[in-house]
C-alpha cells in the first residue's frame, strides 16, 4: 500500500488514526472528519473496528470522556480485557497528516474492493 508512506503497515496506520481520534490533541475536527470518512471503511484489524465503532457510538472527540467511557462500553460488548493505553498515547501527526492518512486508508480499501470485484 504505497499511499501509506508514514506507516509501515495498514494496521499501524489504523492504530495511528484511532490514536489521533481518541487523544483529541489534534482537535475535534480530526474526530468528526475521521468518523465521517471511515463510516464505510472496514478495518483490517477486528479490534480496531471494534474500537472505532465504539468511539463513534460515544459520539464525542473529547479525550477525557472517551478515556472514561470507552473501557466500560467495550466491557458491555464483551471485551473487558483490551489494552487501550496505546490509543491514548501522544502522537506526532498533525491534523492534516491524520486526515491524509484516513483518506489513504479509504482509498486503499476502495482499491482492494475493486481488485476483488475484477477477480471474480
Q: What are the average pLDDT values for consecutive 10-residue runs of the chain, which has 120 residues?
A: 62 94 74 93 96 95 93 96 92 87 88 56
Q: How many CB atoms lie within 10 A of CB 115?
A: 9
Q: State residue 91's pLDDT score.
A: 82
Contact 50, 117 (CB under 8 A): no
Flag whether 2 is in a domain. no
pLDDT of 5 reads 57
In a domain, 96, yes or no: yes
The answer to whether residue 40 is domain-embedded is yes
Residue 3 lies in a domain: no
Dihedral, 107, 67, 24, 17 alpha carbons, nearest 10? -20
Q: How many domains does the chain fold into?
A: 1
Asked, for residue 1, whether it belongs to a domain, the answer is no
pTM of the model: 0.84
Q: 4 lies in a domain?
A: no
**Domain for residue 89, yes or no?**
yes
Domain residue limits at 67: 10-119
pLDDT score, position 27: 58
What's the confidence (pLDDT) of residue 6?
A: 55
Amino acid at each position: 500500500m504505497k499511499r501509506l508512506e508514514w506507516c509501515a503497515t495498514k494496521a499501524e496506520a489504523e492504530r495511528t488514526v484511532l490514536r489521533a481520534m481518541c487523544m483529541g490533541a489534534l482537535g475535534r475536527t480530526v474526530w468528526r472528519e475521521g468518523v465521517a470518512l471511515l463510516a464505510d471503511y472496514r478495518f483490517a484489524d477486528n479490534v480496531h473496528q471494534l474500537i472505532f465503532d465504539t468511539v463513534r457510538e460515544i459520539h464525542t472527540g473529547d479525550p477525557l470522556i472517551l478515556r472514561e467511557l470507552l473501557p466500560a462500553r467495550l466491557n458491555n460488548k464483551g471485551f473487558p480485557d483490551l489494552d487501550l493505553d496505546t490509543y491514548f498515547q501522544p502522537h506526532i501527526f498533525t491534523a492534516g497528516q491524520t486526515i491524509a492518512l484516513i483518506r489513504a486508508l479509504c482509498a486503499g480499501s476502495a482499491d482492494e474492493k475493486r481488485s476483488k470485484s475484477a477477480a471474480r
